[in-house]
Amino acid sequence: GNFTFALNAVNSTGDTYIYLSGPTAYQWISVGTGSKMAGSVMLIVYKNESVNGITLSTRLATGESQPHYSSQIDCKLLSGAVDKDVQSSTMKDRGSSSSSSSSSSEFFSTNIHCTNLQSLGQHEGTLSFTNQQQNFIYALGPLASSSNPLLSNSPSTNLHQHSSTGNFWVDIVNATSASLTSPSGSQVGVPSGAALLAAQNTGTDSGSDAMSAVHATFMLLAFVIIFPLGAVLLRWARNGVRVHWIVQSAGLVLTIVGGCLGIALSEKNDDKSSYSNAHQILGLIVFGVVFVQWALGIWHHLQYKRHRRSTVFAKVHRIVGPIILIIGFVNGFLGNDLSGDGDHNKWLGAVVGVVAVLTIGLLGWK
């Protein structure tokens, strides 16, 4: 099966007519203006709660995070349904841009009318009717299954991160009509001519998804399990100082590996390489402060062995520790939002709550 996109634009009114289809093997399919997410106007399609029904979600993207629904985007479904074998007839009749995907026999099939796409994109996400090489991006959601469906009537529903992405360009000039009436006298509408060129630079980011999962696992282990455990064992273990050092050093190693994976993920994607997202900023701060905290603990211990009295480093160490944990917890929630897994935050919140209560209770008890 294929992802298919075709477009007709009307110069005199600014109207845009779009045909979009793709396999229902994925939870959702989408197309957006521009060559990257930042500034893109995105049209996302997924199943709704009715039989063979479809929801059109119009969203604005600010970067490599889940785009937000925007009612300002005036796009309506002229028709939309889950069809069988729609692709075979479509490819015969329409000019299209395609990327290989699943072999599912069912497809999302949508005809969309938009009135203001030109006015809402930002920077590279701007749509121009005079552009002979207008960039677009597309994405396919995670694989759908009976245990992992997406059925929603809401255009603002939470979406899981894409499993495949790509980009292509369109000769908008060739896809533009002067007015709502074509030279033949027929009404301009959903495209049926060869208005665009084939997709280029398509690809999948399944490797990034795996890297993201490992990054999250390592950081959660460090901040939710290892670091709190090390604080508790300092008071409860027989050789508390030594055990504390070993456990916190293990947490440091997990943080180094997880942090390096996070940096690699950012560098792998142009939109994330600016490190402007709150999760990235806090992550870099915590990544650096964890080293400082570890060094403070070592230095205090060495000074204590020499002078047999507490040092100012110990006071700073005791203050910085809880602050790091709190920031780490918060950043975990931000990371889920960034990856499109915001619905996991309720489970993360429950785990963090239990760990916080146990840690505070055990530290206060002894």
- Which domains, from first to last, does the chain contain? 2-204 (2.60.40.1210), 208-365 (1.20.120.1770)
Q: What is the pLDDT of residue 95?
A: 39
Choose among 251, 245, 362, 249: nearest CA to 305: 245
Which residues are registered as beta bridge partners of 167? 137, 200
Residue 146's SS3 state is: coil
Q: What pLDDT score was predicted for residue 329?
A: 95
Residues 6+ apart with CB under 8 A from 201: 166, 167, 168
- Of the candidates 45, 137, 113, 31, the one whose C-alpha atom is nearest the C-alpha of residue 82 is 45
In the beta sheet, which residues pair with residue 9? Answer: 16, 176
Exposed/middle/buried for residue 331 (C-beta within 10 Å: 0-12, 13-18, 19+): buried
Tell which residue, 29, 273, 14, 267, has the closest CA to residue 126. Answer: 14
> DSSP per residue over 324-344, as a string?
HHHHHHHHHHHHHHHTT-GGG
Asked if residues 56 and 80 have their Cβ atoms less than 8 Å apart, the reply is yes
Residues of the chain falling short of pLDDT 50: 86-104, 182-188, 190-205
Tokens, residue 61: 């993207």
CA–CA dist 358, 153 (Å, integer)? 41
| Cα Rg of the chain, angstroms | 26
| Per-residue model confidence (pLDDT) at position 2 | 78
Predicted confidence at residue 28, as pLDDT, reads: 94
Q: How far apart are CA 49 and CA 34, in angstroms?
A: 31
Please give the torsion angle defined by the CA atoms of residues 106, 111, 117 and 118, in that order, rounded to the nearest 10 degrees.
110
What's the CA gap between 117 and 16, in Å, rounded? 7
CB 108 within 8 A of CB 5: no
pLDDT at 289: 95
Question: What pLDDT sits at residue 161?
Answer: 82
The pLDDT assigned to 194 comes to 36
Q: Name the 3-class secondary structure at 192.
A: coil
Instruction: Report pLDDT for 99.
Output: 43
How many angstroms separate the CA atoms of 159 and 149, rounded?
11
List, in order, residues 6 or more apart from 309 with CB less than 8 Å away. Answer: none
